[in-house]
Amino acid sequence: MTRILLAIVLFLFAFTCRAQNAAPQKAVNPYATTDKLVLELPDSLSNTTERIAGYIMANFKTDSDKARAIFVWVASNIQYDIDNMFAINFNEKEEEKITKALRTRKGICENYAALFNDVCLKCGLQSYVVVGYTKQNGFADYIPHAWCAAQINGSWFLFDPTWGSGYVHNGKFVKKIDNAYYKVPPSLLIRSHMPFDPMWEFLNYPITNQEFYEGRVQENQSKPYFSYTDSIAAYEKLSEIDKSAAAARRIEANGVKNALVFNELQDLKISVHNTKVHLYNSVVADYNDGINNFNDFIKYRNNQFKPMKPDAEIQAMFDAGYSKIAGANDKLKQIPDPDTDLVAMMASLRKGIDDVMPHVEEQKTWLAKYFSKGKFGRSTSFTKYTWMGIPLN
């Protein structure tokens, strides 16, 4: 993200994850003791987030000190990667973003945010990566941005370790810690940072995208009250597909103001659809595997369980098919709000499952009776079994 820098000529420099306009005046650092101690973290302990978190946990006791230490370490040790400032890929795995930043000591906003978030979590702080866009000097940027939220002593604060790490001057990154982006109350950061999903504003009266554009970011209690704490608690209990679907609904309701919001919304909708299709295909695969396993059991039964196997092995053979067929219906229920085409396919599959289950339950009962008998009783238990109207032998 950029900031405007005044050189001989006034110019704009697009910088997805920028820091500050110019070097601020020197001031007393209230975090000097914490900053000094965390920056003494040995290089040998800085190659994984586990080791970084271990050092911080050993040297800082309060949540506030831990959050400060994490922010300062990340902002001080990662160099902004100007050459790749536009190479944002929110679909890249978090582990890859973190590994890359620690290996190269370079990154862009998504690397800073992923690293800060992961160390927070490993230090016992509830934390999230927030994605959205920003506004600088009255203009909304056209490049997405990532920052973080963490709960400190029961309250939510926002952290932008990228903007807080320095600024760009004459095409070069100047490292300079900016505390304006450390532990920021949500009501302040909303002036410049707009999440795609309004839940991550951490405001009881969320700002719409239109209001953000117009600079109308003051609390408006005439709006419906929104309990973001309850929403986050509910969010934690959702499946990944339900999280994405709920986020898409909130984003759409908050106004699709620009291409960034539109793209995020479309990506979520596509992700939800693809996940539904993937779930359906996995149910079909389980059902087919279950039918094949059950057929193998029936053939073995019709061969009077020869060659002989231990009871436990025979039971496992039956269970392999039973569990997949019986579980297919439960997996179908996990597909939320399927579209019309998927509804029809699910109905057909569900009918197939319903048709098969009485036969499977019949064999389950038969097998239990078989195991309860002695050797002679077992030998008289076998009759040829017709599976779906077709004799098997």
Q: Which residue has the higher pLDDT, 254 or 168?
A: 254
**Is the confidence at residue 390, as pLDDT, over 70?**
no
Instruction: Give the percent of the chain with pLDDT over 70.
Output: 91
Kindly provide the residue ranges of all beta strands, DSSP E only, lying in 61-182, ordered along the sequence: 79-80, 106-107, 127-136, 139-140, 145-152, 155-159, 166-169, 172-175
Express each pLDDT in 101-153 by its tens digit. Answer: 999 999 999 999 999 999 999 999 999 999 999 998 889 988 999 999 999 99
At residue 87, the pLDDT reads 74
pLDDT band at 8 (very low <50, low <70, confident <90, very high): very low
At residue 85, the pLDDT reads 74
At residue 7, the pLDDT reads 33
**Is the confidence at residue 6, as pLDDT, over 50?**
no
**Is the confidence at residue 4, as pLDDT, over 60?**
no
Express each pLDDT in 261-285 by its tens digit. Answer: 999 999 999 999 999 999 999 999 9
CATH code of the domain occupying 5-237: 3.10.620
pTM: 0.78
**Tokens standing for 350?**
């569900």
Highest mean pLDDT: which range of 196-200, 298-302, 333-337: 196-200
User: Nearest-5° angle of CA 116, CA 138, CA 68?
Assistant: 20
Q: What is the mean pLDDT of residues 290-317?
A: 93
Nearest to 144 by CA among 164, 156, 130, 158: 130
Q: What is the mean pLDDT of residues 18-41?
A: 76
pLDDT band at 387 (very low <50, low <70, confident <90, very high): low
At residue 386, the pLDDT reads 60
Phi-psi region of 224 (alpha: psi -120 to 50; beta: other; left: phi over 0): beta
At residue 84, the pLDDT reads 82
Nearest to 188 by CA among 165, 156, 166: 156
Sign of dihedral through CA atoms 239, 242, 243, 244? positive
pLDDT band at 168 (very low <50, low <70, confident <90, very high): confident
CB under 8 A, 24+ apart: contacts of 185-190: 185/157, 185/158, 186/156, 186/157, 186/158, 187/219, 189/147, 189/158, 189/160, 190/217
**Is the confidence at residue 201, as pLDDT, over 60?**
yes
At residue 22, the pLDDT reads 47
- Delimit the CATH 3.10.620 region(s) of the chain: 5-237
As a whole number, the mean pLDDT across the chain is 89
Peptide linkage before 24 cis (omega within 30 of 0): no
pLDDT band at 388 (very low <50, low <70, confident <90, very high): low
Express each pLDDT in 348-364 by its tens digit. Answer: 999 999 999 999 999 99
